Structure 1
Amino acid sequence: MPPLLDIRCIYLEPGVEAHARGREILARFPDAERVPVASHWRIPELREGDAGDYLRNKREVLVLGVKKGMACRPNGRSADFIAPSSSNGCAMACAYCYVARRKGHANPVSVFVNIEEICAAIARHAARQGAKPAPNQVDPHDWVYDLGENGDLSLDAAVSDNVRDLVALFRGLPGAKGSFATKWVNPALLDYDPRGKTRIRMSLMPPALAKLLDVRTAPVAERIRFMAELHRAGYEVQVNFSPVVLREGWEAEWGALFAELDAALPDTLKPHLAAEIIMLTHNAALHEVNLSWHPKAEALLWRPDIQEEKRSEGGQVNLRYRTPWKGRWLARFQALLARHMPYCRVRYAF
């Protein structure tokens, strides 16, 4: 199997080499071709290239940029706030990923090199919040900042020390906690010393589904084993059942996953475990992208017979499971989880 990353081309914005982190990353890949670009968002050969290059670009291309916007946006689901991102894009290729809808068919890892400014912006925002006035479904004590809205920080940690710096930031930041979801197993995270101030949400689905939909990700069994290691290393570990994709026999395969998870988790983790449950959301533009490189996935993702259009908060028209069927299916999913893992609290489900 080819490596997840084999960087041969680096696109870089002006100013990247003026930052120590930019120089560090370039030194890690000395043989890669360097291509100056005006903006990490405007690279036509990535946005408009042959969809057949989809996976090759993810493996061989890295984009380096300088983060401009430093706002922390309110969230309320996975986190209280979305932090200014240290990256976007991903070397993995989950067939349902919404980031591809924003960046064309190719969205390789893009890393922002001004990590000191990003950390400083988060610290200033957290200081302005003061103590959390009351518990909420995100966290009972801390303000939680999502650090990886448009990427996978476990993988980003193989490219730069940005993730190490973010974990160190929250380790010493009163009243605040970092959080990110991942589908990758990176043992380097185990020596970051998070001291309970970084939450890692391991994304899981039944292995047969993951083999089809979670392209280039870590096998589900490895993700489950890694949860125990992350817990012992001092992370707050939660689980993200996402997306829930419905097909014939879904209750049996999810029940088997819950049983495997219950058997593997250490007893010290179970009382603190919480979950997010996210039913599949799809999109016509992503459907067209997927047909060009992974049509088998669309047989499960594109189900107009049980889906309906719904406009998202951002104004985009997406496909979701039909109301009220979705509500009934979600209730059955939660009952199944409670039967196998009664200790697992559901933080939110939609």
Structure 2
Amino acid sequence: MPLTRDLLDVTTIYHEPAVDAFPRGREILERFPDAARIPVPSHWNIPELHGNAGSVEEWVRIKRSTLVLGVKKGLSMRPNGRSAHFIAPSTSNGCAMACAYCYVPRRKGFSNPISLFVNVEQACAAIARHAGRQGPLPEPDTIDPERWIYDIGENGDLSVDAAVYGGVRDYVELFRGLPNAKASFATKAVNRDLLDYDPQGKTRIRFSLMPATIARVVDVRTAPISERIAAIDDFVAAGYEVHANFSPVILYEGWEADWRDLFAQIDGTLSDAAKRQLKCEVIMLTHNADLHAVNLGWHPKAEDLLWRPDIQEAKVSQGGGANLRYRTGWKGKWLARFKALLAEALPYCTVRYAF
């Protein structure tokens, strides 16, 4: 994906003082020599960014024009057990894109542009030590049949990060050399520079997919759905394991027909080689009252789809947040219906994880 002015035109860099002590930090600063540099004590505490709901113009402007650079303090692995076995120390937090349902702004503040962590060597060393202590995967499971899976992109989109600096390549190269581990990350962008990373089957990319008519409303500043689907064959040929991330599944009048059309598009586009390795995750929409209030200020059209108190209920998430999810009982029925549609249209696409 070219680094276009539509997505990123960096004019301001907030940075922790130690950033230029790291090669990847110097790389970013040298890449944007004309950007204003503003030292900050912590990437977590920037009043101009965090807590600034702003207007739609400010929301998008900040994401386009601003980078935050920091040093990752915590390098521990968190057990996951759903999409991955472990959540690795991520290379970033925040995103240049602006999906209306994104959970990251709830945790860090608005508008939450890309924050890149420059101590990549330290993070890679921590992952290698952890993987070395794990030994072989004891037995096949729904996460992977052979290796421990580490999610390396929990709070950002690494396809976009890779257009800014080489930290993503560092991670892919790390896992290429770990015999018992594999990296994984979800993306809504298509960055063809990643095709040259030579992952040798040790990185799993999960392209997030939903009906295009809905994506045009809620997947703000992302690659078109058709472009994501068209890229799958090329990434498989380049040595990636490529899965689909059907997320979020949003319920509305006519959702079943739209998903049938999407499944037909996938089936008609993918090569046999891509189909043989295809698996997926299915994640029903989770929303949040605070995010709803902010979205009303910059993108109210999205809330017509996301805010459905008639079919949603409050629930405390695994991370302790107060969120809205589709009502218990009904959610299970809708999820079962979704999986039935998927099995009918894409019988070769195994559901690894559904929630």
Matched, 1:20 2:12: no
2:105 to 100, 105, 115: 100
In the TM superposition, what whole-angstrom CA distance separates every residue of 1:235-290 from its partner, at most 9, and x where no partner exists?
Answer: 00000000000000000000000000011111011121110000000011111111
1:4 correspondence with 2:7: yes
Partner in structure 2 of residue 47 of structure 1: 50
Structure 2 SS opposite 1:155: helix
Q: Distance in 2 between matches of 1:286 and 1:48?
A: 12
Matched, 1:183 2:188: yes
1:163-205 CA-to-partner distances (Å, cap 9, x unmatched) read 0010000001110000000000101000000000000000000
Once residues 100 and 28 of structure 2 are traced to their aligned partners in structure 1, the CA distance between those partners, rounded to angstroms, is: 28
Q: Is the counterpart of residue 168 in structure 1 residue 134 in structure 2?
A: no
Matched, 1:246 2:251: yes
> Which amino acid letter does the alignment assign opposite residue 31 of structure 1?
D
**What code does the residue aligned with 1:43 have?**
I
Q: Please state if 1:72 is matched with 2:59.
A: no
Q: Which amino acid aligns with 1:160?
A: Y
What's the offset of the Cα at 1:48?
3.0
* One-letter amino acid matched to 1:133: P
* 1:200 maps to 2:205: yes
* Matched letter for residue 303 of structure 1: R
3-state SS in 2 of match to 1:122? helix
Amino acid in structure 1 at the alignment position of 2:232 = M
Aligned to 2:339: 334
Q: What TM-score do the two structures reach when normalised by structure 2?
A: 0.97
Counterpart AA for 1:217: T
Report the equivalent of 1:115.
Answer: 120
Contact 2:124/2:174, CA 8 A, preserved across alignment: yes
Q: 1:15 to 1:2 in 2, by over 3 A?
A: closer
Which string of whole-angstrom CA distances, capped at 9 and with x for unpartnered residues, describes residues 98-125 of structure 1? 0010122211000011100000000000
Report whether the alignment pairs 1:258 with 2:263.
Answer: yes
Give distance in 2, aligned partners of 1:12 and 1:2. Answer: 22
Given that 2:143 and 2:352 are in contact with CA atoms closer than 8 Å, whether structure 1 keeps it comes out as: yes
- Distance, in Å, in 1 between the alignment partners of 2:168 and 2:319 is 28
Q: Distance in 2 between matches of 1:316 and 1:110?
A: 22
The alpha carbon displacement at 1:14 in A equals 1.4
- 1:211 lines up with 2:221 in the alignment: no
TM-score, normalised to structure 1's length? Answer: 0.99
Note the C-alpha offset of 1:316: 1.2
Cα deviation, residue 50, structure 1: 5.1
Indicate the SS of the match to 1:41.
Answer: coil
Asked if 1:273 is matched to 2:278, the reply is yes
Whole-angstrom distance in 1 between the partners of 2:36 and 2:255: 46
Taking the aligned partners of 1:220 and 1:50, their CA distance within structure 2 comes to: 28
Specify every segment of 5 or more residues in structure 2 that has no aligned partner in the other structure, as ranges. Answer: none
Q: Percent identity?
A: 67
Aligned length: 350
Structure 1 moving runs of 4+ over 6 Å: none
CA distance in 2, matches of 1:3, 1:349: 34
CA RMSD of aligned residues (A): 0.9
Alpha-carbon displacement from aligned partner over 1:72-102 (angstroms, at most 9, x marks no partner): 0000111000001111100000000000101
Task: Give unpaired runs (5+ residues) of structure 1.
Answer: none
